[in-house]
């Protein structure tokens, strides 16, 4: 394998120097993420416009790359796509030159050389992959120009440091629609990431029985998830979409642990000596069924890699030592069997690390690729002949909504290196069997975890951080400086990060309902509007146990940052759990009982009504505040939601703040899911797409007090 340094030198000598340097007008490095390896500033700019013509040797792949470039350019410019393919002579051309060579490494395939002159742009590469990455660099330069068409003149020679630059998304425990997967593909390609791992089956944690297998199975139709799945044709289309953007999709079917969805259709594979969701590897039927499953899906995914999971195979406490050793041997035999079975179909098999912690360890095949989520033996794995990917859980795991794991982006950018697996596990720089690293999103909460926008926010900075560290040229001296660069490149073409509710940062509320005009978004429930006793000109919403009102907004909830304020008078003397506001991702309760402490108070949770998908008693899914709303007295409730923060105000005064992140539920006032609504009067309901300041919250209280008191 040619080293990165040698290849850059090769490209620079034979291409950059021979092309001639332009008069340097400044010493400002191009803001590209990931940072380019070598650059030379020129004078002037290339203006891309309707007269620009792409010139290249006829090729389906190159034509696709050009078409994607033009689509993305139009998205950045807010214009209709230009054809850019007409054949005519003239200046202002973008010329693509591919000089293919035999036996290219992945790094060589992805390298490119870019010459930007005032009258033309020349892209030189040894493979189509390099051409595509050159277009990403051009688009990032365009995005930062005021007119979205000026490209400053540079000569750039670029190449990644690692061939495996990955991102994993857990779609097994939380279904992501195809549109969302395409958004992640666009984000990845923008930052020159190249491996998307889809964790296709799993079960949610924390006491709930929720399991799903996300790809349509024609061999076992009952295996296919009923609450969200991908048809095989959708998978094929998605693979093509990703391939056109330089991204390989790695399928992961996780077994013999994390396999509750398989046990749901084949309960005979269960063994009482194993923890829930574990297949009995000593049962021959396990091998037979898994062979049929792999037969179907190995053929569906053209990826050179196929991930078979094999993490966290666990026994029950009462299992004897002899039984543990037998299961451990069977587990390693399972790994070897499917390595050879799937390998015979032309795939490189990947597994998670940790198998060697089993009692009575049985060696596994040395050609298996190890996904190192436990990095405490990286050196030993390489010594045993394995290729490895850096996936250390403490550094590279995002678990949205929980209080464990989490990525420290500042640490990753300033101190972490892909070859560092922890104490005494630093690999030599340039270790050829370290292929790269991978960022992960695990949806342990299941369907009721973070919304799509919340998850995207969690990834928004971590993904470019990983991209720059894996491309191998850390340009910014600090994380704060890096963030400034990221901010200039946030507008990823064809990715919709806009919240559906108008979350303007001005003083105007998104929702403003006081009922005094006898109006309500849900016309069906106008009968719930009652005159306020003693105030003939004022009205309130009168909820009883089975009443609810649909707000009919563009979205059912608002993600952070948000403020919800309302005036409420409780009319029921009981402390029964009742719903004030509800949505698919959250509920606000007038009364919620904390089953650990026994206390009851105003509460908020990631749940639909009383159904807690994430299990009973998990305190990062819900919060019972130390506050009981009084009976027959008007009370001003204000809640603010920020990143890992939720604060309660009563009558304008801060009562309690917690480090938990919730959505503002806005599908209904009261519960539409058959749960009890809060028997109460409500008015002056306001929702803001920002966190209000304390003085603003006090002003809301004082103004509302004048309305009804």
Which parts of 111-158 fold into alpha helices (H)?
128-143
> What tokens were used for 589?
């309760």
Beta-strand relationship, 434-441 and 397-398: parallel
> What tokens were used for 328?
């451990």
Q: Tell me the sheet residues that pair with 531.
A: 539
> What tokens were used for 32?
């590209």
Give the residue carrying structure tokens 């309130």. Answer: 540
Rg of the chain on CA atoms, in Å: 29
> What tokens were used for 609?
């009504």
d(CA 582, CA 551): 10
Nearest of 451, 399, 401 to residue 584 by alpha carbon:
451
Q: Reduced to 3 states, what is the DSSP secondary structure of residue 667?
A: coil
d(CA 702, CA 201): 52
561 preceded by a cis bond (ω within 30 of 0): yes
- Three-state secondary structure string covering 52-74: CEEECCCCHHHHHHHHHHHHHHH
In the DSSP assignment, the letter for residue 80 is: P
| Contact residues for 594 (Cβ-Cβ < 8 A; gap 6+) | 600, 601, 603, 624
- DSSP per residue over 432-482, as a string? TTEEEEEEEE--TTGGGS--HHHHHHHHHHHHHHHHHHHHT----SSHHHH
| 312 tagged catalytic | yes
Question: CB–CB of 310/338 below 8 Å?
Answer: no
Question: CB–CB of 54/85 below 8 Å?
Answer: yes
- Three-state secondary structure string covering 24-57: CCCCCCCCCCCCCCEEEEEEEEEECCCCCEEECC
From first CA to last CA, the distance across the chain in angstroms is 78
Question: CB–CB of 162/437 below 8 Å?
Answer: yes
Phi, psi for 79 (deg, rounded to 5): -125, 170
| Contact residues for 466 (Cβ-Cβ < 8 A; gap 6+) | 165, 167, 193, 396, 412, 437, 439
Q: Helix axis angle, 452-471 relative to 479-487, nearest 10°?
A: 120
d(CA 550, CA 543): 13
Cα dist. 622→25, 203, 306, 627 in Å? 57, 21, 38, 15
Q: Of 312, 431, 656, 696, which is the active-site residue?
A: 312
d(CA 649, CA 201): 41
d(CA 55, CA 377): 50
d(CA 343, CA 365): 11
Annotated active-site positions, please?
A: 312
């Amino acid at each position: 394998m040619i080293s990165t340094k040698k290849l850059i030198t090769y490209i620079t000598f034979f291409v950059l120097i021979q092309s001639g340097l332009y008069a340097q007008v400044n010493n400002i490095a191009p803001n590209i993420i990931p940072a380019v390896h070598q650059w030379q500033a020129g004078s002037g700019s290339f203006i891309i416009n309707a007269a620009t013509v792409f010139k290249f040797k006829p090729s389906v792949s190159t034509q696709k790359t050009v078409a994607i470039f033009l689509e993305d350019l139009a998205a950045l410019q807010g214009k209709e796509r230009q054809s850019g393919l007409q054949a005519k002579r003239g200046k202002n051309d973008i010329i693509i030159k591919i000089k293919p060579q035999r036996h290219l490494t992945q790094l060589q395939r992805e390298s490119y050389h870019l010459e930007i002159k005032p009258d033309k742009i020349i892209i030189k590469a040894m493979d189509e992959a390099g051409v595509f990455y050159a277009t990403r660099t051009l688009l990032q330069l365009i995005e930062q120009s005021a007119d979205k068409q000026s490209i400053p003149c540079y000569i750039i020679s670029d190449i990644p440091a690692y061939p495996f630059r990955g991102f994993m998304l857990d779609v097994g425990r939380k279904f992501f629609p195809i549109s969302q997967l395409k958004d992640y593909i666009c984000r990845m390609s923008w930052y020159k990431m190249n491996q998307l791992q889809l964790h296709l089956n799993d079960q949610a944690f924390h006491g709930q029985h929720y399991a799903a297998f996300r790809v349509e199975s024609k061999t076992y139709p009952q295996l296919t998830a009923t609450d969200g799945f991908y048809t095989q044709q959708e998978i094929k289309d998605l693979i093509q979409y990703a391939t056109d953007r330089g991204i390989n999709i790695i399928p992961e079917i996780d077994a013999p642990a994390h396999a509750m969805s398989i046990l749901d259709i084949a309960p005979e594979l269960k063994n009482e000596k194993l923890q829930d969701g574990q297949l009995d590897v000593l049962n021959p039927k396990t091998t037979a069924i898994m062979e049929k499953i792999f037969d179907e899906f190995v053929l569906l995914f053209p990826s050179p890699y196929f991930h078979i999971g094999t993490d966290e195979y666990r026994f029950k406490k009462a299992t004897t030592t002899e039984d543990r050793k037998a299961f451990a041997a069977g587990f390693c035999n399972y790994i070897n069997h499917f390595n050879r079975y799937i390998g015979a179909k032309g795939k490189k098999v990947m597994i998670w690390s940790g198998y060697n912690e089993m009692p009575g360890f049985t060696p596994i095949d040395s050609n298996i690729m190890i996904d190192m989520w436990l990095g405490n033996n990286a050196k030993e794995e390489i010594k045993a002949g394995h290729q490895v990917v850096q996936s250390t859980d403490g550094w590279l795991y995002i678990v949205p909504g929980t209080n464990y794991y989490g990525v420290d982006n500042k640490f990753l950018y300033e101190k972490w290196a892909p070859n560092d697996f922890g104490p005494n596990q630093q690999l030599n720089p340039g270790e050829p069997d370290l292929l790269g690293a991978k960022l992960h999103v695990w949806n342990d909460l299941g369907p009721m975890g973070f919304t799509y926008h919340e998850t995207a926010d969690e990834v928004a900075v971590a993904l470019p951080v990983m991209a720059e560290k894996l491309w191998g040229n850390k340009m910014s001296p600090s994380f704060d400086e890096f963030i400034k660069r990221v901010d200039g490149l946030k507008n990823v073409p064809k990715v919709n990060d806009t919240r559906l509710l108008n979350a303007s940062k001005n003083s105007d509320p998104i929702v403003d309902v006081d009922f005094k005009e006898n109006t309500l978004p849900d016309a069906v429930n106008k009968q719930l509007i009652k005159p306020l006793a003693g105030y003939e000109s004022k009205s309130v919403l009168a909820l009883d146990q089975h009443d609810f009102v649909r707000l009919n907004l563009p979205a059912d909830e608002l993600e952070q940052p948000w403020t919800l304020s309302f005036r409420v008078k409780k009319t029921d003397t009981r402390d029964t759990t009742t719903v004030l506001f509800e949505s698919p991702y959250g509920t606000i309760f007038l009364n919620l009982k904390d089953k650990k402490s026994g206390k009851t108070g105003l509460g908020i949770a990631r749940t639909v009504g009383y159904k807690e998908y994430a299990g009973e008693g998990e305190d990062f899914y819900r919060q019972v505040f130390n506050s009981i709303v009084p009976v027959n007295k008007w009370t001003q409730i204000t809640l603010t939601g920020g990143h890992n923060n939720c604060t309660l105000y009563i009558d304008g005064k801060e009562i309690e703040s917690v480090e938990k992140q919730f959505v503002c539920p806005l599908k209904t006032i009261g519960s539409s899911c058959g749960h009890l609504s809060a028997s109460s009067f409500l008015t002056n309901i306001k929702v803001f797409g920002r966190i209000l300041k304390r003085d603003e919250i006090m002003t809301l209280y004082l103004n509302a007090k004048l309305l009804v008191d």
